[in-house]
Structure 1
Amino acid sequence: MKTIQGPGIFLSQFIDGQPPFNTLEGLAEWAASLGYKALQIPCNHPAIFDLEKAAESQDYCDEILATLAAHGLVISELSTHLEGQLIAVHPAYDAAFDGFAPDAVRGNPAARQAWATEKLKQAARASARLGLNAHATFSGALAWPYFYPWPPHNALLLDEAFKELAARWKPILDCFDEHGVDLCYEIHPGEDLHDGATFERFLQLVDHHPRCNMLFDPSHLLLQQIDYLAFIDRYHARIKAFHVKDAEYRINGRSGAYGGYQPWIDRAGRFRSPGDGQIDFSAIFSKLTQYDYSGWAVLEWECCLKQGDAGAREGCEFIRRHIIPVSERAFDDFAAGSEDRASVRRMLGLAGDAHD
């Protein structure tokens, strides 16, 4: 077994225009002061991390690593959640998601997709230069408007959506394979890969690609009423990244899993800071340790109640307390018996020569 690495922190929710949250140096100093050991860095803030430069320049990557090392930090993963979203956008979401892309490709879905594809390939090259073995992203979605279909289920529509999604991602997965990096899709509502069934469907269409993996975030499973521990049992071989984010589902007589178009604080299902929700993280860390997950435990702070700095400070200690240092020997080794073959045959009451 292996010990999970951590604590790490995802920077997306903390990047801001004000110091110390407007530079990588400032963010590193802040995160290190809280006790974090790694940063998960989004790729959509060039002033924080220039993805294009990192993809082409080993010197730039070495500078980034040195900046973090000066604070006792490393990179857990790079993140292209927003760029990955743009690999597949249903026309109903064109206007909403155009804001994730640069001005030059807005209003042009084909150009926007091509730009996003190049960004993902840059992320593969940059990850390799930085010595990383996993990358976090979203799958995007063509079928999401039909997730609870009315008119009724259209099998051909869903077949075409997933075939197209696989066709768009296959060259990107191949690129990540060339650079020795696992591509980890966050299983997340709003994405076509939002549960185990949709991941399996996609995995089959990309020929069980070795780089097609998951970012496990139990909050999104709890809010869908999925057994997140059984999910680990089923998919542990494909879980290569881990967000520590809590959630709670408060059943009531007014609204349910879809949220009723209400703000987060009024929804039946809502995100919370680690330890404030309903998720059994002790069991999650035990499961992941049992299955030899050796990646990072990364805080993703999203909470409808708690202030972000408090969530970050508490989250670091929460992760640290849940990491299980793996034992190098069994607890009952002290009472081990003889491993001499003749002795154990005598213990079994077996006489004569041992059989080969």
Structure 2
Amino acid sequence: AHATFSGALLWPYIYPWPQRPSGLVEQGFAELAKRWLPILDCFEAAGVDLCYEIHPGEDLHDGASFERFLEAVDHHPRANILYDPSHLLLQQMDYLGFIDRYHARIRMFHVKDAEFRPDARSGVYGGYQGWVDRPGRFRSLGDGQIDFKSIFSKLTQYDFHGWAVLEWECCLKDAQQGAAEGAEYIRQHMIRKTSKAFDDFAGVTSDEQSNRRLLGLPDA
């Protein structure tokens, strides 16, 4: 699997005011598809997934924009997702529901924490402030608000087989400390998927006649 960004033909027009010219968005995604399809075909020939990091500043920044791109490239099998919950939290998205909806396309995973604490001065857009003063900011693993226990559980549930890659971009903690703590944090959250149900010990053999008796039905 290979990480990439989509590019940002349409990002300057992310806010719908001033009103966008009719057809601008459609033309933008058509151009993205035109540029990416030959590359996706090369990745298909090489047997490698191309994973777009869903990231503000890029045209593919949420589920809706990814779906639009996926349609434009005719649901190409190599058009996949690099999942980074920090970028979804800072957009106030349901980053756990995102896994439920797009798990079939998630092929890479950045383990990066973040927090969002809006106030009376600024919110999602950040008011041109530096990272320390923004309501939304990246944090070292375990210092933010992201529920990684649930994320690792969902990725295990859906048989994700990729790497859990530590990405450090904290505005407060030293990088060396963040790396040492982060590696251990990931180790503690790794899940070895069970090979059997917890109640298998109580299992009994079954046949149709026995089931009918359990249901209070006469023998067939």
TM norm structure 2 = 0.97
CA–CA distance in structure 2, aligned partners of residues 263 and 303 of structure 1 = 12
1:118-165 per-residue CA deviation (whole Å, 9 max, x = no partner) reads: xxxxxxxxxxxxxxxx11111111000000133113341111111001
Gaps of at least 5 residues in structure 1 are: 1-133
SS at match of 2:23: helix
Alignment of 1:24-39 (within 5 A): none
How many corresponding residue pairs? Answer: 220
CA–CA distance in structure 2, aligned partners of residues 282 and 154 of structure 1 = 44
Are 2:128 and 1:261 aligned?
yes
- Choose the corresponding residue for 1:199, options 66, 88, 96: 66
Supply the AA of the counterpart residue of 1:343. Answer: S
Per-residue deviation, 1:336: 1.1
Are 2:81 and 1:214 aligned?
yes
Per-residue deviation, 1:349: 2.8
Q: Is the 8 A contact 1:285 1:322 kept in 2?
A: yes
Instruction: Give the root-mean-square deviation of aligned CA atoms.
Output: 1.1
Q: Is the 8 A contact 2:118 2:124 kept in 1?
A: no
Supply the AA of the counterpart residue of 2:145. Answer: Q
CA–CA distance in structure 1, aligned partners of residues 9 and 35 of structure 2 = 11
Match of 1:158 in 2: 25
Gaps of at least 5 residues in structure 2 are: none
Match of 2:174 in 1: 307
Are 2:145 and 1:278 aligned?
yes
1:48-87 per-residue CA deviation (whole Å, 9 max, x = no partner) reads: xxxxxxxxxxxxxxxxxxxxxxxxxxxxxxxxxxxxxxxx
Supply the AA of the counterpart residue of 1:287. Answer: K
Q: Is the 8 A contact 1:144 1:190 kept in 2?
A: yes
Are 2:111 and 1:234 aligned?
no
CA–CA distance in structure 2, aligned partners of residues 320 and 147 of structure 1 = 38
Per-residue deviation, 1:262: 1.3
- Choose the corresponding residue for 1:187, options 54, 67, 76: 54
CA–CA distance in structure 1, aligned partners of residues 147 and 20 of structure 2 = 34
- Choose the corresponding residue for 1:297, options 145, 154, 164: 164
CA–CA distance in structure 1, aligned partners of residues 23 and 212 of structure 2 = 63
Match of 1:177 in 2: 44
Per-residue deviation, 1:348: 2.3
CA–CA distance in structure 1, aligned partners of residues 150 and 219 of structure 2 = 48
Supply the AA of the counterpart residue of 2:33. Answer: A
CA–CA distance in structure 2, aligned partners of residues 155 and 175 of structure 1 = 33
Supply the AA of the counterpart residue of 2:189. Answer: H
Per-residue deviation, 1:217: 0.2
Are 2:215 and 1:332 aligned?
no
CA–CA distance in structure 1, aligned partners of residues 44 and 161 of structure 2 = 19
Q: Is the 8 A contact 1:182 1:240 kept in 2?
A: yes
Are 2:136 and 1:136 aligned?
no
- Structure 1 stretches of at least 4 aligned residues deviating more than 4 Å after TM superposition: none
Match of 2:210 in 1: 343
CA–CA distance in structure 1, aligned partners of residues 176 and 3 of structure 2 = 23
Q: Pick the structure with more helix per residue.
A: 1
CA–CA distance in structure 2, aligned partners of residues 269 and 214 of structure 1 = 23
SS at match of 1:185: strand
Aligned in 2, Cα 1:143/1:175: closer, same or farther, shift over 3 Å? same
Match of 1:21 in 2: none
Supply the AA of the counterpart residue of 1:330. Answer: A
Q: Is the 8 A contact 1:338 1:344 kept in 2?
A: no
CA–CA distance in structure 1, aligned partners of residues 186 and 22 of structure 2 = 42
Supply the AA of the counterpart residue of 1:144. Answer: W
SS at match of 1:163: helix
CA–CA distance in structure 2, aligned partners of residues 293 and 155 of structure 1 = 40
Supply the AA of the counterpart residue of 1:151. Answer: P
SS at match of 1:264: coil
What percent of counterpart residues are identical? 70
